[in-house]
């Protein structure tokens, strides 16, 4: 069976750095931090009182008030980015065969805002007995964003959600890539959305001691590959990519942004929340992505790393890169854009895949911000080019994006310039 080629023809983003692709890309390439005090709830008694929040999101731009009340915030984000991605792709919704258009959309947690509101009300009013909103379950479940998008547009192709914690939306994109190249769909909207900036979300991650507690300086708290890093910074948002079979895209005269050429998956099989200290799963997943793409390590110009700014994770990922790429590791660019966006959990892979696509399109590598001289970690090799503090222009023929999730889930995606 001859595998079909898969290209990216549309993008959509809602992020702490902008709610459209142009705004987001401008902030990312200029090294802007999306961090600030938490405004979604009173976090004054929490160990962490800051996050990378989406700012100025207006649901009325996408649906009426009655409809928005049926949607958790994460689903609102998902619909918003799907709309932008479809518009960006130029897909003709009147003529496209909707039986051959799918939606694979991830969430690491799902509707935790809805869950906390509904269950909280019940326990505060026990004397009144159970009184739940009929939309409680449909708003909360993590597959519902994919369902909502398909219902809105009438897309009847493959439709489901993926869940692998912080690797969720990379898995969604890899699944979409696989379905299309095997001829099971012509077009798939793939991505992820998350909004877990709630008391339970922040408090739960605080209990794991996973979050930075640098409350005096939120903007500099996410500092991947710095010795003084003390945990990740939570963020919310969503990203969507329109993946399309090449001949289908050419037939309609689509603007092809890049080609998706490989995806890898692996497990650490080591610990619930910590990455393997030697980066075994990270090494394996990058090797598998390269093998799937039929590419040598020397073909990669940029790695958008998982790089969460945690004490163990940053070290193990840097080790894995050196093992996989050898001497070429010192010639490519590496950056952690979580230094700017924070960690978007189930949406991280989609947003970072978008960054990788735009790096290939524009030949720019976004920076890893917040590094200062004198803050070097003796366990990290600084001969590697981490693209500290300022974006770098270079030819980016191919980019690899890493995402690793709680449970030991690892996923890597490779995109490259489209050549006929």
Count of C-beta atoms within a 10 Å radius of residue 288 = 18
Structural tokens at position 138: 């449909």
Closest CA to 376 of 364, 362, 386, 367: 386
Closest CA to 183 of 217, 207, 202, 158: 158
- Residue with tokens 């803050």, as numbered in its chain: 375
From residue 76, alpha-carbon distances to 146, 161, 204 in Å are 11, 16, 23
Count of C-beta atoms within a 10 Å radius of residue 244 = 28
Residues involved in catalysis: 166, 306, 343
Contact 25, 391 (CB under 8 A): no
Residue 168 CA to residue 357 CA, distance in Å, equals 18
Q: How buried is residue 79: exposed, middle or buried, by Cβ count under 10 Å (0-12/13-18/19+)?
A: buried
Residue 18 CA to residue 28 CA, distance in Å, equals 9
Give the residue ranges of DSSP H helices in 17-71.
21-29, 65-68
For every residue of 170-225, DSSP letters joined together read HHHHHHHHHHHHTTS-SEEEEEEEE---SHHHHHHHHHTT-B---TT-GGGT--TT
Residue 178 CA to residue 393 CA, distance in Å, equals 31
Residue 59 CA to residue 61 CA, distance in Å, equals 5
Contact 392, 364 (CB under 8 A): yes
CA dihedral sign, ordered 90, 253, 190, 275: negative
Structural tokens at position 126: 């026990």
For every residue of 302-315, DSSP letters joined together read EEE------TTHHH
State the angle between helix axes of 144-153 and 73-89 in degrees (0 to 180), rounded to the nearest 10. Answer: 40
């Amino acid at each position: 069976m001859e595998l079909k080629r898969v290209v990216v023809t549309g993008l959509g983003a809602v992020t702490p750095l902008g709610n459209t692709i142009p705004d987001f890309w401008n902030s990312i390439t200029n090294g802007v931090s999306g961090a600030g005090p938490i405004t979604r709830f009173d976090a004054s008694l929490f160990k962490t009182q800051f996050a990378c929040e989406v700012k100025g999101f207006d649901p009325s731009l996408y649906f009426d008030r009655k409809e928005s009340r049926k949607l958790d915030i994460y689903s609102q984000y998902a619909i918003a980015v799907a709309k932008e991605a479809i518009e960006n792709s130029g897909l003709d919704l009147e003529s496209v065969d909707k039986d051959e258009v799918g939606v694979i959309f991830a969430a690491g947690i799902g509707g935790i805002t809805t869950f906390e509101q509904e269950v909280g009300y019940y326990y505060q009013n026990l004397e009144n007995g159970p009184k739940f909103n009929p939309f409680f379950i449909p708003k909360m479940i993590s597959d519902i964003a994919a369902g909502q998008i398909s219902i809105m547009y009438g897309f009847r192709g493959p439709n489901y959600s993926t869940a692998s914690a912080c690797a969720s939306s990379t898995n969604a994109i890899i699944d979409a890539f696989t379905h299309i190249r095997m001829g099971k769909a012509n077009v798939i909207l793939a991505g992820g959305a998350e909004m877990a900036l709630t008391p339970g979300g922040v408090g739960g991650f605080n209990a794991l001691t996973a979050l930075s507690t640098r409350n005096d300086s939120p903007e500099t708290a996410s500092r991947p590959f710095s010795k003084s890093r003390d945990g990740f910074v939570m963020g919310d948002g969503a990203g969507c990519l329109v993946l399309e079979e090449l001949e289908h895209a050419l037939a309609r005269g689509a603007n092809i942004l890049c080609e998706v050429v490989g995806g890898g998956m692996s497990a650490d099989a080591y610990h619930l929340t910590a990455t393997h200290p030697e980066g075994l799963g990270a090494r394996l997943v990058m090797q598998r992505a390269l093998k799937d793409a039929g590419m040598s390590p020397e073909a990669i110009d940029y790695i958008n790393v998982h790089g969460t700014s945690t004490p163990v994770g940053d070290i193990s990922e840097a080790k894995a890169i050196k093992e996989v790429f050898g001497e070429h590791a010192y010639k490519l660019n590496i950056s952690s854009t979580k230094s700017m966006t924070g960690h978007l959990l189930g949406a991280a892979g989609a947003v970072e895949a978008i960054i990788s696509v735009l790096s290939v399109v524009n030949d720019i590598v976004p920076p890893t911000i917040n590094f200062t001289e004198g803050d070097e970690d003796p366990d990290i090799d600084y001969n590697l080019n981490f693209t500290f503090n300022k974006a770098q222009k270079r030819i980016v023929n191919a980019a690899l994006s890493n995402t690793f999730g709680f449970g030991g889930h690892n996923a890597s995606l490779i995109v490259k310039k489209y050549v006929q």
